Amino acid sequence: MTKADIVNEISKNTGIEKVTVQKTVEAFMETLKDSLGEGKNVYLRGFGSFVVKKRAEKTARNISKNTTIIIPAHNIPSFKPAKTFVAKVKKNVK
């Protein structure tokens, strides 16, 4: 499902114009990115949590050039689904 599909589905289910739904979805995604960029976690009850995970500095090897590089410590976004979300997805296995 793409973002356009999500906008169409929300518009169909709520009766709100697609343009308004599109702006709302875009605003939600921007707010989510901004919050995670500032190191703030986002919790959506019944859906899941978007959290910032910290990765420690580590040493890696480039096998083809036989060199060692250091990957600096950095943050990455992560999603942890809520238990009800996981249960619904597991239920639909065929």
Total tally of structural domains belonging to the chain: 2
d(CA 83, CA 49): 11
d(CA 53, CA 78): 7
d(CA 29, CA 48): 15
Residue 90 belongs to domain with CATH number: 4.10.520.10
11 φ, ψ (degrees, to nearest 5): -60, -45
Summarised one tens digit per residue, pLDDT across range 14-26 is 999 999 999 999 9
Whether residue 31 is found in the same domain as residue 51: no
Whether residue 70 is found in the same domain as residue 35: no
Residue pointed to by tokens 């040493």: 59
Cα dihedral value 58, 40, 33, 86, nearest 10: 90
92 pLDDT exceeds 80?
no
Confidence of residue 4 (pLDDT cuts 50, 70, 90): very high
Q: What is the DSSP string of 37-50?
A: HTT--EEETTTEEE
